Each structure stands twice: as C-alpha cells, then as structure tokens.
C-alpha cells in the first residue's frame, strides 16, 4: 500500500513539472529593431505644433503611440528638423527622422473673396458700387489705364466702382508676399460690366 502511494506521488510530481518544462522551453517573442535606421517625413504648416502620425522604416509603416514615441517636441514653423523616435510595443531601438514642415498655400488661394463681380452698366450710371477684396498682408493693383479711371482700391482692400464706367471686363490683382510659413500668392478678381 505504501509503495502504491509513493508511485502515485511520483507520477503527480512528474505531471505538475511537465507544463512548467514546456513553458520554459518556449522562446520569448523577439522585437523588431529600428536602431540606427533613418526616415523622412513631411507635413504642412497649420499654425499649430505637430508631428506626423506615421513613419515608414524598412517598408513598414510605424504608428506613433503604438509602435514608437517621439523623443523630441513637436514643431510649428516651416522648416526641416532632425528628430528621434524610440521603438515601443513590437519595436525597439532609436531611429533618426528628418522631419519637414512645408509652407502652407498663400491666403489668396483660400480666401472667400469672389473671383468675379458683375454689374449692369445701367446700375452704375448715377451711383457707384462698393465691395471688399480684403486679404491679410496683401497689396492690390488695378490693371490698365481705362480700369484705373473707374476703379479704386484702398490699402484695406475696399473697392469702389465709379459711376459712368463703360461696359467691359476690368481686373484687380491681389498679391501676397511669401512669409516664413506661407508661400507667395496671387489672385485676379474680375469686374464685369454688362
């Protein structure tokens, strides 16, 4: 009877040890390394500090916050910067990223200023018409001698179409100089007198 108990105890001990041995033999998950790798990313100036949400390394798209974290602070102004990323999750190591913030399009390309204004010559026989083409930081030019006789634009973008203007198409050119964060821009506003 005692012998049977000893055999049972030995068998039980072997059974309990077996899973532990299997687990010990299983290899641990290996992380992919990004150490020493280089990447280039870009975005467009928005006026707010920003860093791209993804970076491509060795053909793989890594997601910020899931696969890596930025070591450096987010950038606001247009320019080219060098930042570092550190792998997390399934990735490890530190990589270098060339990060470019491109200039935004000029305000003239996104402004709500209409590209065309139309009036009947009969409505301008006795009374002038006024409207605005105001764009921040812009300069305004009325094109042509004939147009300058009947159309005036103030420095603030207020347009006056004088009474007695003849039928035809007149043009105002709006220009915005390039800045540190935006491109130079140009927009033509046509004034059509029918």
Q: What is the pLDDT of residue 108?
A: 77
pLDDT per residue as tens digits for the range 112-127: 788 999 999 999 999 9
Which stretches of the chain score pLDDT less than 70?
1-29, 109-110
Are 150 and 170 in contact by the 8 Å Cβ rule? The answer is yes
pTM of the model: 0.66
Residue 116: C-alpha distances to residues 10, 20, 133 (Å): 96, 80, 11
Determine phi and psi for 104, rounding to 5 degrees: -80, 160
* Owner of token pair 């899931």: 66
Q: Checking DSSP bridges between strand 185-193 and strand 116-119, what pairing results, if any?
A: parallel
Residues 37 and 62 sit within 8 Å (Cβ to Cβ) = no
Query: How far is residue 95's CA from residue 37's CA, in Å, rounded to a whole number?
Result: 5
pLDDT at residue 5, rounded to an integer: 53
pLDDT score for 29:
67
Looking at residue 106, what is its pLDDT? 85
pLDDT tens digits, one per residue of 93-148: 999 999 999 999 987 766 778 899 999 999 999 999 999 999 988 999 999 999 99
């Amino acid at each position: 009877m005692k012998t049977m108990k000893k055999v049972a105890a030995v068998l039980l001990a072997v059974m309990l040890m077996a899973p532990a041995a299997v687990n010990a033999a299983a290899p641990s998950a290996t992380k992919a390394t990004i150490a020493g790798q280089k990447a280039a990313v870009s975005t467009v100036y928005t006026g707010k500090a920003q860093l791209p949400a993804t970076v491509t390394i060795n053909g793989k798209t890594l997601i910020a916050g899931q696969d890596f974290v930025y070591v450096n602070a987010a950038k606001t102004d247009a320019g080219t910067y060098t930042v570092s990323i550190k792998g997390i999750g399934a990735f490890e190591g530190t990589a270098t990223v060339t990060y470019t913030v491109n200039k935004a399009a000029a305000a003239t390309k996104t402004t709500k200023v209409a590209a065309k204004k139309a009036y009947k010559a009969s409505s301008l026989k006795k009374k002038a018409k006024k409207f605005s083409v105001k764009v921040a930081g812009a300069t305004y030019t009325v094109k042509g001698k004939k147009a300058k006789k009947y159309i005036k634009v103030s420095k603030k973008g207020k347009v006056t179409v004088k009474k007695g203007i003849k039928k035809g198409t007149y043009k105002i050119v709006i220009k915005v100089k390039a800045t540190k964060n935006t491109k130079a821009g140009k927009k033509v506003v046509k004034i059509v007198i029918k």
